[in-house]
Structure formats: C-alpha cells, structure tokens
Chain A
C-alpha cells in the first residue's frame, strides 16, 4: 500500500462547478500538507499549504485536513478553464530530514 493515495482521474467538469480533489494517507506522523498544481509540460508549483488539521482558504481554493481520518481535500469554487491542470497532494513529517511524499496526481479538465 502506498503512503499516499490519490485518484488519478481524469476529472472533467463544466466551468463554474465546485471541484473536490482528495488524498488519503497512512502515516500518522505527517504534519504538513500541501497541494501542487502542474500545468501541461511544466513543473509542479506550490498552490496551498496547511499545517495539521483544519481549513485554509485562498481565494477560490480551500484546503482541508482531517488527521483523524487521514484525509485531505482541495476544493475549487467557481472553477475556470485556467484551472485545468494536474493537482498533486504532498505531505511531510516535522523532522528536518523528512522529504515530501507525493500523491500520483489528479488530472482536472474544466470545459467552457
């Protein structure tokens, strides 16, 4: 079993829809949770960052962490065609030598 599981999609939604992207994990030592966005033929870029449990909002994006369920989510409101990309979750423990562990990514397509 992988440490981080992510549905690869693809997920296809109409413009304006609310999108929910999710990851589950098995390592209870994870404390930091991130979402990266990767456009086609580009490198991943950090989108959202959350520490421990709770919600964090940034414009149309909300990151949610439920450590009791080992489940994290990224919600995109009023989705736009420019949101079409692959979204990767990533997580890490609190040690300086801990590396980021990535999900495999979910491909999202927002059509006009």
Chain B
C-alpha cells in the first residue's frame, strides 16, 4: 500500500544545532507540504513543493529550508534550532487539485528544542 512516512517520530535537540526531518511518500504525488502544529495556531504552512527542484515558502518559513531532488522525498531542515521551533511537524502530499482530492498526512514528528 502507498504511504507517507515521517522520521524520526520524536526528536530532542539542543539550541543552535541543525536538524533534518524526513518525509517520504510512495503515492507518486507531485505536491508535498510541511506544516507545524501548535496549540492555538492550528496547522501553519512552512514550505511546499509542486515538483522536483521546485520549493516555495509558506507563512512561517523563517529558520527552515527544504530541497526536492526526487518525487518521493521532501526533507525539512532547521538551520539553527531555536526553542520557538519546538512543535509537532506534519508532512503532507497530494496530486491534482487540493479541493478535489485533499492532502494525505504523515503521522508527524514531535520536535523538542532544549
């Protein structure tokens, strides 16, 4: 069965370290998204990609970067982790029109920056 997997599920890191969260999907979806979810804010879009070599900033992109070298993977990098980046991170993917098909989400990565 096709799936979207995130790793690690939990991560504790220190302030100032570089951290990379992995997202891998076998749906063959062109479009991939990274969100963070915090109490009171809901899902906030960090970065997204509409295909290989395409990346775009979302509403809360400062301090984060992504790269898309193949269809299956969109890793999210925190350049220098800050305590404000403690959150739950979700990756999502889709093909075609967002409204018609919706997003498929991964199970999330819970990141704690100490």
**A 76-112 contacts with B by CB, 8 A:** 88, 90-100, 102-105
The distance in angstroms between the C-alpha atoms of A105 and B88, with both chains bound, is: 15
Are B42's CB and A90's CB within 8 A? no
Known: A43-B106, A44-B105. A32 touches B100 (CB 8 A): yes
- Would you give the shortest CB distance from A59 to chain B, in whole angstroms? 18
- Determine the interface band of chain B, counting residues with CB < 8 A from chain A: 20 to 34
Are A104's CB and B41's CB within 8 A? yes
Q: Is A71 an interface residue (CB 8 A)?
A: no
Are B50's CB and A97's CB within 8 A? yes
Are B102's CB and A34's CB within 8 A? yes
Known: A43-B90, A43-B107, A96-B96. A104 touches B102 (CB 8 A): no
Q: Is A45 an interface residue (CB 8 A)?
A: yes
In the complex, which residues of chain B have a beta carbon less than 8 angstroms from the beta carbon of A99?
33, 45, 48, 98
**A 18-36 contacts with B by CB, 8 A:** 31-32, 34, 36
- Would you give the shortest CB distance from A67 to chain B, in whole angstroms? 13
- A-B contacts, 30 of them at CB < 8 A, read A6-B42, A31-B99, A32-B98, A32-B99, A32-B100, A34-B99, A34-B102, A41-B108, A42-B107, A43-B105, A43-B106, A43-B107, A43-B108, A44-B103, A44-B105, A45-B105, A49-B102, A51-B99, A92-B98, A94-B97, A97-B50, A98-B99, A99-B33, A99-B48, A99-B98, A100-B98, A100-B102, A102-B42, A104-B41, A104-B42
Binding site for B on A (CB under 8 A): 6, 8, 31-32, 34, 36, 41-46, 49, 51, 88, 90-100, 102-105
Going nearest first, the 5 A-B pairs with the smallest beta carbon separation are A32-B99, A104-B42, A43-B105, A92-B99, A92-B98
